[in-house]
Amino acid sequence: MFGKVAILAAACSTLCAASGSSMNDMRLGAQSVNSWRLSQHAATSKPALVLQDGTQPLESAEFPARWFRQPLDHFDKSRSDTFLQRYWFSDRHYKPGGPVIVLDGGETSGEGRLPFLDTGIVDILTKATNGLGVVLEHRYYGLSIPVLNFTTDSLRFLNNNQSAADSANFMANIKFPGIDDDLTAPGTPWIYYGVRARAAHMRVLYPDLTFGAIASSAVTHAAIVFWEYYEVIRLHAPTDCVARIQRTIELVDRILQVKLLRKPLKKLFGLEDLEHDDDFASVLEAPLGGWQARNWDPAVSGTSFEAFCSVLEGEQLQPVKLGPFELDAAALNYAAYVKAYVRRNCPEGYNVEECFGTYDTAKYSDVSLASDWRLWMFQVCTEWGYFMTAPPDPTHPRIISRLITLEYVSRICKVAYPPGKHFRVPRLPDVVGAVNSLGDFAIAADRLAFIDGTADPWMPATPHSWYAEPREDTVSRPFKEIYDGVHHWDENGLVNAADEPPRIRAIHQEEVSFVTAWLKEFNVTAAREARPAVRERLAGIMRLDLLDVESTA
């Protein structure tokens, strides 16, 4: 029966190869580190640059990298440590008097955001407003690395407050090469665009500098347990596919309760030598990561989720008995998919425990700069949470195993980040103090827009959450959803806007409309007169005495 993998390969075709499970893994915890390690091995075997959400870096001399000097610690004026933060800018549409549209690079290399400077949201808004566009790389990510290693102590300056202060310092002091105009805030209107919650936080924390902000897929509510991530997939994925996943996962959980049947079950999935049941259950989550990688533009969209569903709904295999349990076609196809497209990521010479086991703590001890998986995971462990578990209600329908618990997923925090001399990772992340205290679901301000997708697995942590109070959509406070959209679907665009799907073209037009309306409220005289007072207030809480350093290297 399982000799029919070749047939499954034909069904999956290039879809699985184009976006293998390890590349689309959105899980948090030790298993995601395994996925990262396997993807690194694949990248060295097949040289290719795979960036977040499938976007490729823009090979263009039009946007050379530039550098801005930042303090390592914005709030301790006794420290003199600095680092160079990378940024790129586009002046193709700029005319004197135009705004600055800055895109926060987020928790990834800023290179992956350059397409949005060329044809995406930044180009769309700068073209409509005669503005200058910027992509600002997040501290510690890409090449904006301020430390020599990623130990617990070295990572202590990677937090929400320091990152927001980077942006504020940049906005207040930047001098763009080749442009004589003073474009610093608040004398020039800056519109801040960002994924995650940064844009919303900038409008709240630094309202004098951030004239307006667009928060796309903004998770303004941090949570320790975030079981809702998979719930969105369960509710929005194709009904038949979801039903097959649910049946399989429920059956797997029942079989795992019978000790003698555990190894035969794992063998069907090609994972018979995987010792721990929760590790096995975690591997079965891998195909679900493809949901977030989907995009309206086929050129950048991940296709592995559709391929996974195609396999589940494919061959109508005869049921197989495993003790008193009967595995139907859905379970057998699920097993065949994992065996063919997840297990295969384990390279020759490695066993499955080395590839998919999470109990060997030595795997997580490398603190070199090459281990960039340590960055977002550190932020998860200290401030954001979002440990994706099974639903807390055992009777609730689920598409992942009940073995995926908070204890299992969060164990990475303890094993990967031992206490340092200067910093200790908390037992649980400080989601309230670091994030939710800034407004949570109710965060709001004039000239602050929220754009979300109804099918985004992060939606339950945004102001559009089913836990949040409903609000009006106004020009001053836009509150918009993209029907069936996933993660920040408004961010990318096409050279010819007429070729975009109607719902994407519409959201881009709405963004242009409310941003241009906001800019009519800007009083340049009052803003420039306010500059000294604004700088004085900022100097009271952060350093503003550093000069920028420019380079095209």
Residues 6+ apart with CB under 8 A from 455: 232, 236, 484, 485, 486
pLDDT per residue as tens, the chain (553 positions): 333 333 333 333 333 333 333 334 567 788 988 988 888 877 665 433 333 344 444 546 789 999 999 999 999 988 899 999 999 999 999 999 999 999 999 999 999 999 999 999 999 999 999 999 999 999 999 999 999 999 999 999 999 999 999 999 999 999 999 999 999 999 999 999 998 899 999 999 999 999 999 999 999 999 999 999 999 999 999 999 999 999 999 999 999 999 999 999 999 999 999 999 999 999 999 999 999 999 999 999 999 999 999 999 987 888 999 999 999 999 999 999 999 999 999 998 899 999 999 999 999 999 999 999 999 999 999 999 999 999 999 999 999 999 999 999 999 999 999 999 999 999 999 999 999 999 999 999 999 999 999 999 999 999 999 999 999 999 999 999 999 999 999 999 999 999 999 999 999 999 999 999 999 999 999 999 999 999 888 888 887 655 444 443 3
Residue 193, phi then psi, degrees to nearest 5: -110, 135
**Tally of domains within the chain:** 2
Shared-domain flag, residues 412 and 513 = no
**What are the CA-CA distances from residue 259 to residues 107, 275, 299 (Å)?**
41, 12, 46
pLDDT of residue 371: 95
Task: Note whether residue 446 is domain-resident.
Answer: no
Residue 82, phi then psi, degrees to nearest 5: -135, 170
Q: How many helices (H) and strands (E) does the chain have?
A: 18, 12
SS3 86: strand
**What are the CA-CA distances from residue 261 to residues 2, 161, 247, 254, 258 (Å)?**
18, 50, 18, 10, 6
Q: Domain boundary residue among 416, 450, 485?
A: 416
- pTM for the full predicted model: 0.91
Residue 502, phi then psi, degrees to nearest 5: -50, -45
Domain that holds residue 195: 66-222+473-528
Task: Note whether residue 463 is domain-resident.
Answer: no
Shared-domain flag, residues 250 and 154 = no
Q: For the chain, how far is it from start to end, CA to CA, in angstroms?
A: 56
pLDDT of residue 19: 31
Shared-domain flag, residues 339 and 386 = yes
Say if residue 10 is exposed, middle or buried (CB neighbours under 10 Å; 0-12, 13-18, 19+).
exposed
pLDDT of residue 29: 85
Under DSSP, the state recorded for 341 is I
Task: Note whether residue 383 is domain-resident.
Answer: yes
Tell me whether the omega of the peptide bond preceding residue 186 falls within 30 degrees of 0, making it cis: yes
* φ/ψ bin of 349: left (φ > 0), alpha (ψ from -120 to 50), beta (otherwise): left
Shared-domain flag, residues 301 and 387 = yes
**What are the CA-CA distances from residue 499 to residues 15, 22, 53, 471, 496 (Å)?**
23, 31, 21, 32, 6
Amino acid at 152: T
Task: Note whether residue 353 is domain-resident.
Answer: yes
